[in-house]
Amino acid sequence: MRINRALRLGLGALALALAATACGGGNEGSALDHAKDGKLTVGIKFDQPGLGLRNKDGSYSGFDVEVAKYVAGKLGVQPESITFKEAPSAQRETLIENGQVDLVVATYSITDKRKEKVDFAGPYYVAGQSLLVKADNTDITGVESLNGNKKLCSVKGSTPAQNVKEKYAKDVQLQEFDTYSLCVEALRNGSVDAVTTDDIILAGFAAQSPGQLKVVGKPFTTENYGIGLKKGDKETRDKVNDAIEAMIADGSWAKALQQTVGGAGFTPSPAPQVNRY
């Protein structure tokens, strides 16, 4: 009986440990705890040229990547000690809540709904929603011309496509994919008429395909890109805000922006004012 009771207790403890692991799914401790150990895990996009891109050689490039490296450096973490993890739009809050990443720097617009689940530092960039079409398309010149059963693509878990349907083109047909690169492929093969998201993202894709794609229309929203982190972690948020302000002040922000998206014929927004959310 004693053996059976000990066995039951042991199995019960194991079950509790496994349940805790399943619920957490990530490393314990705050982002600053991990930074003190000299390492950070940062969620970025893997498929956004000029912003967050995993290159064929396994390296990472883009403005978000440079922001992440700068912030990590201010927290005491060297670039080679950063683990970059893919953060698709629909999974960003979950990755943060489960502790699978310390920070998310992935064209992550700050919204009230998202702030219910995570905290934000920033903004580190202010974008505006626009449209990407084929270079020879003359029908779509702006958001209003999407009316007439045009097919519009964006990604799951993102706000742009629904924003268009609710405010500008009620009869537009929405098509959602997991990534923007799939939307761009659908645009190339004629499955959709336009792709919508922030202008800086679209400019990166247009620059990747000179003469094939173009950004049309004036920006019709304001998207504040923030760095996502665990809700309630004010200490980390304050330090990340300090790092963003330092990056802007010492010229590193402008330099990174020019190096990553400056060649796309795109005029970036001026440096933002960091808010203490």
Could you report how far apart the first and last alpha carbons of the chain are, in Å? 58
Asked whether 201 and 51 are in contact (CB, 8 A), the reply is yes
Residues of the chain with pLDDT under 70: 1-27, 263-265, 277
Asked whether 142 and 131 are in contact (CB, 8 A), the reply is yes
Please give the share of the chain, as a percent, with pLDDT higher than 70. 89
Residues making up the chain, counted from first to last: 277
Question: How much is the pLDDT for 163?
Answer: 82
Tokens linked to 106: 């992935």
Question: How much is the pLDDT for 4?
Answer: 56
Tokens linked to 160: 């742009």
* Sheet of strand 52-54, all strands in order from the earlier edge strand to the far edge: 47-48, 52-54, 60-61
Distance of CA 198 to the CA centre of its chain: 11
pLDDT (tens digit, 9 = 90+) per residue, 23-68? 444 567 889 999 999 999 999 999 899 999 999 999 999 999 999 9
Q: What torsion do the CA atoms of 80, 32, 276, 159 make, to the nearest 10 degrees?
A: 60
How do 103-109 and 223-230 pair as beta strands? antiparallel
> What domains are there in the chain, each with its CATH number?
28-126+224-264 (3.40.190.10), 129-216 (3.40.190.10)
Asked whether 119 and 235 are in contact (CB, 8 A), the reply is no
Task: Please tell me the pTM assigned to this model.
Answer: 0.80
Specify the amino acid at residue 201. I
- The CA distance from 226 to 107, in Å, is 8
Tokens linked to 275: 């808010």
Question: How much is the pLDDT for 132?
Answer: 94
- The CA distance from 144 to 125, in Å, is 26
Q: Which of 181, 121, 172 is nearest to 147 (CA)?
A: 172
Tokens linked to 17: 């440990």
Q: Is 148 exposed, middle or buried (0-12, 13-18, 19+ CB in 10 A)?
A: exposed
As a whole number of angstroms, the longest Cα–Cα distance in the chain is: 82
- The CA distance from 277 to 241, in Å, is 10
Tokens linked to 202: 């679209």
